[in-house]
Chain A
Amino acid sequence: MKTEKNCKDFLLEINVQELPVSYIRPAITELRGAFLKELEASRIRHGETALGATKNSLICCIRDVSARQEEVSIEVTGPPKSMAFDKDGNFTKQALGFAKAQGVRPEGLRVKNTPKGEYIFVERRLKARPAKEIIVEIISRVIEGLYFPKTMKWDDSGLRFARPIESVLVLFGKDRLNVKLGKVLSKNIAPVEPAAYLKRVNKEMLIDPDDRKKEIKKLILKTISALGADQEVDEALLEEVNFLVDRPGVFAGEFNKKFLALPEEVLRASMAKHQRIFPVSKKGRLLNKFIAVTNGRGLDIKAVKSNYEKILEAKLQDSLFFFDEDTRRPLSENLRQLKDLIFQKGLGNMFEKIQRLKALSSFVCERSGIEGSLKKDIERAAELSKADLVTHMVGEFPSLQGIMGGIYALKTGEKKDACVAIKEQYLPHGMDGRLPESLAGSVLSASDRVDNVVGFLGMGIEVSGSFDPFGIRRNAQGLIQVIKNKGLRIRIDEVIERSIELYGDRLKVASSELKTRVISYIEDRMDFLAGEIRPLELKKAVLRTGRFDIVDIFNRLDKLSSISDKRYFLEAAKVVERTSNILKGVKEVVPENVDERLFKEELERAVWKAYTDSKSGIMSLIEKEDYVSATKEYAGAFYKVLHEFFDKVLVNVEDKAVRLNRLALMKAINRLYSDNIADLAQIPQIIVK
């Protein structure tokens, strides 16, 4: 057994010219994972890891790495025993040859039983190589294998990386190891232990990305406090800045108040995009101030600040120009230009898109009971929804699409509801993004998403794994969230049908197939969004049942899962399960109606009476979406009597008419619940205690 003494700390540092911000976190995570995997595969033990990631370096430090591989033995099988020994029991030439090839003496050969018969074999001890030899091989493999969205060449060695690698440092204990990696040189430093080296580097800069981020946030918040402003920090910008600096400092700057005339969103976008600086607001209103995060020590902050301020004003001057140009004419005059703007290849232009959107959102209004002026405003919003795509400001800041449309529409006298809808049409942006607050914005957002999903899937575009370049998944998910959030009562299958109709003959996939595909895609996303629900099968039981009304489906899920441990729920489930089971193997066509004249048994009549007595009550509870009471009623009406019925009455009797009539009765009871609330037969092992 090796002792602790034979362990050394290990450190790898890749020094690289400024890495793209978004590459750094994934790279360091992958680097650690890949390296540990290689160590383990090479039977080299190791301890804890520590990571560093800055714009110029990826650092992976692993403590207590054993200096040698673990020793292991392997068995190498040779010829069958029958061929290894002659009739006198001596080794044959073949056996001797095998022993020689394996580098053992003939006495070392053993015999063992295998499924194929008896064979000779040798046990070989694999040589435990020094870890440092192996590490050198692993490192170049791991570095060359790192994934980046884009890679480049910088010399003619053929080596590719995200940006040019300047040097690599590998420390193993006190040794500095040389690695072969393109033309990259090893960093030339005096011998040093990894721990000491890390300490030294940390004096120069903050290498741990999380510590650094905390420090930057602390500095920003401190400055905000000094300004008496709102304690808000743009997290996305913070993450970005975190990988632009390694030795952070902060200062606050100012700009001319006249630029506050620009919409707040424009000011924020300009600051973030052009200078990566943080806006400052007080009581929710932007101030003519900003906070910049600087890098390094010894800066002439006064001069740097003055430059930042003047550059910001020059950039804002450009935004003012865009704003003035864009507002020289009403937004509606842009519509003509939308004919020149492609929506998606094969799916026509943006002008066609807004025509569809207008019709589709109008349809959604009708179906969800929105009428009068609000309906008109929504239609107008749909018509103007894409008009800002051809403005200067959206050309400069694509992230302001919708937002600028809303602002410009308001400036040219459009109704407020329409403007808000235009502004909110792209919400939510991500999984946890903000949802449209207005009803009008929700209708527009939902319609746009249906149009997108139907169009993309209709072109035969597939989503696989994480590959979703058209954002189909994001669109479908957003659609569900928007509808659920506003409680929009629509049958989504009808909206999909209407959307397909509106595309006319543009789509490649046949209408009925496409409808099924879109619906199953949305169901899949609902399943995902519903999260973990007990019992697990409840989602499937509810999703495939009743109207395809998203609000209603989530409501049913919610209600049923909240009563899933109640006795009456289990009783109801048992009723659905038993009636479903008896119908399962039936090959004949079971009639829709029950014929009372065919009843033979008293219990049959009792079950039928239970049905006729309870049906309208249960249906009216379902109508009121009171699924808890409906379940209670259902269980109360059928559980007992059906239990007795199954005990005493044989359903599958010889007489065909009687048999089918009994099955029809079972079907009616089953459908009453499973067609309207949930197909609880999906839930296995229902036990009523």
Chain B
Amino acid sequence: MKKLSFVDVISKLNDFWSGQGCTLVQPLDAEVGAGTFHPSTFFKALGPERWRTAYVQPSRRPTDGRYADNPLRMQFYYQYQVLIKPSPSDIKQTYLKSLKALGVDTKKHEIRFVEDDWESPTLGASGLGWEVWLDSLEITQFTYFQQIGGKELDKISCEMTYGLERICMLIQNRFNVFDLEWQDGVTYGDLHTRHEIEYSKYNFDEADIDMHISMFESFEKEAKALADKGLVYPAYSFVLKASHAFNVLDARGAVSQNERPRYIGRIRALAKRCAELYIGNSKRC
């Protein structure tokens, strides 16, 4: 059987999860650290209504850049995000089926659910769950949300975040991410190596610190102003921009340990505000 390419894996997951009633949405067109930041998760997990969604989310973690030298770590990578609300009792079995749909023989390979209490301090979000290990590699973050935007949830969502590169490594038996087959003879490296190297240089060495500090301030100000006007989506988009500016500053070594909690606190306060507004607005509609 032909090994699945990176693109095939995404298609298979789309097929599988749309078959489970998930609305497939497109990636958020903004720089974010994870699929959780997408409104299809962050806002949609808040209310009482049933919601099932799945999507790819390109994600950026500037501090994880390794100049394309590391087989496993990158500052830019892809998450496949699934959110199911409310969480069904057989969700673990369904998740395992999704691995089978990718051709992973879960009887012949070792799957482990290893305790991991997930937390996103900037989103005021937390949950309990696991890292899912496939032959000792973490391939999915599996979380039952308990809190979003500082709000204790009534309806519990289940979030499954697949690390697409890692799953592909095991499926394709290639243990350097840049050697993965993206599609028909095109490798992941063909598309990403230069991008990865240049962004590593940018994040660690070149990003203009003063500009990012001033951007952070401006984004924060704009987010507040928009929130005051009740424009939740635009306000939220500036929260995300502020969050990314902070991440760049962090990678650039421009955030001291003392300042870090303050920056994070400022972003969290904005995220919380957006969550509250979102719930308030839904009630009015």
Task: Using CB atoms and an 8 Å cutoff, list the residues of chain B in contact with chain A.
Answer: 66, 69-73, 86-87, 89, 92, 105, 107-110, 112-115, 117, 127-128, 130, 134-137, 144, 146, 153-156, 170, 173, 175-176, 256-259
- The contact sample of 8 A-B pairs, CB cut-off 8 A, is A153-B146, A155-B87, A244-B112, A303-B109, A311-B175, A318-B72, A341-B257, A342-B258
A584 interface hit (Cβ, 8 Å): no
A166 interface hit (Cβ, 8 Å): yes
User: If A315-B72, A318-B72 touch, does A299 touch B109 (CB 8 Å cutoff)?
Assistant: yes
Known: A17-B92, A155-B86, A244-B112. 7 other contacts (CB 8 A): A17-B113, A18-B112, A20-B115, A152-B146, A166-B89, A307-B109, A318-B72
Nearest-Cβ distance from residue B240 to partner chain A, whole angstroms:
25
Instruction: Give the chain A neighbours of B175 by CB distance below 8 A.
Output: 310-311, 313-314
Query: Cβ of B136 and Cβ of A298 under 8 Å apart?
Result: no
Q: How far is the CA of A318 from the CA of B154 in the complex (A)?
A: 40
Query: Cβ of A321 and Cβ of B70 under 8 Å apart?
Result: yes
Secondary structure call for the A interface:
mixed
Secondary structure call for the B interface:
loop
For window 269-303 of chain A, which residues contact chain B by CB distance below 8 Å? 274-277, 292, 294-296, 298-300, 303
Query: Cβ of B109 and Cβ of A18 under 8 Å apart?
Result: no
Instruction: Give the chain B neighbours of A55 by CB distance below 8 A.
Output: 113
Query: Cβ of B136 and Cβ of A311 under 8 Å apart?
Result: yes
Instruction: Give the chain A neighbours of B127 by CB distance below 8 A.
Output: 152
Which A-chain residue is minimally distant from B152 (CB atoms)?
A153
Which A-chain residue is minimally distant from B71 (CB atoms)?
A314
Contact with B along A612-629 (1 / 0, CB 8 A): 000000000000000000
Q: How far is the CA of A17 from the CA of B90 in the complex (A)?
A: 10
Instruction: Give the chain B neighbours of A118 by CB distance below 8 A.
Output: none
Query: Cβ of B128 and Cβ of A152 under 8 Å apart?
Result: yes
Which B-chain residue is minimally distant from A313 (CB atoms)?
B175
Query: Cβ of A317 and Cβ of B70 under 8 Å apart?
Result: yes
Instruction: Give the chain A neighbours of B135 by CB distance below 8 A.
Output: 303-304, 307-308, 311
Query: Cβ of B136 and Cβ of A277 under 8 Å apart?
Result: yes
Query: Cβ of B128 and Cβ of A304 under 8 Å apart?
Result: no
Query: Cβ of A340 and Cβ of B128 under 8 Å apart?
Result: no
User: If A299-B110, A300-B109, A318-B70 touch, does A275 touch B136 (CB 8 Å cutoff)?
Assistant: yes
Nearest-Cβ distance from residue A329 to partner chain B, whole angstroms:
13
Instruction: Give the chain A neighbours of B89 by CB distance below 8 A.
Output: 155, 164, 166, 183
Nearest-Cβ distance from residue B86 to partner chain A, whole angstroms:
7
Q: How far is the CA of A314 from the CA of B177 in the complex (A)?
A: 10
Q: How far is the CA of A20 from the CA of B89 in the complex (A)?
A: 19
Instruction: Give the chain B neighbours of A321 by CB distance below 8 A.
Output: 66, 69-70
Shortest 10 CB-CB contacts between residues of A and residues of B: A340-B256, A307-B135, A18-B113, A20-B115, A300-B108, A310-B175, A275-B136, A152-B128, A314-B71, A340-B257
User: If A153-B156, A294-B110 touch, does A307 touch B66 (CB 8 Å cutoff)?
Assistant: no
User: If A308-B136, A340-B257, A342-B258 touch, does A156 touch B154 (CB 8 Å cutoff)?
Assistant: yes
Instruction: Give the chain A neighbours of B73 by CB distance below 8 A.
Output: 318
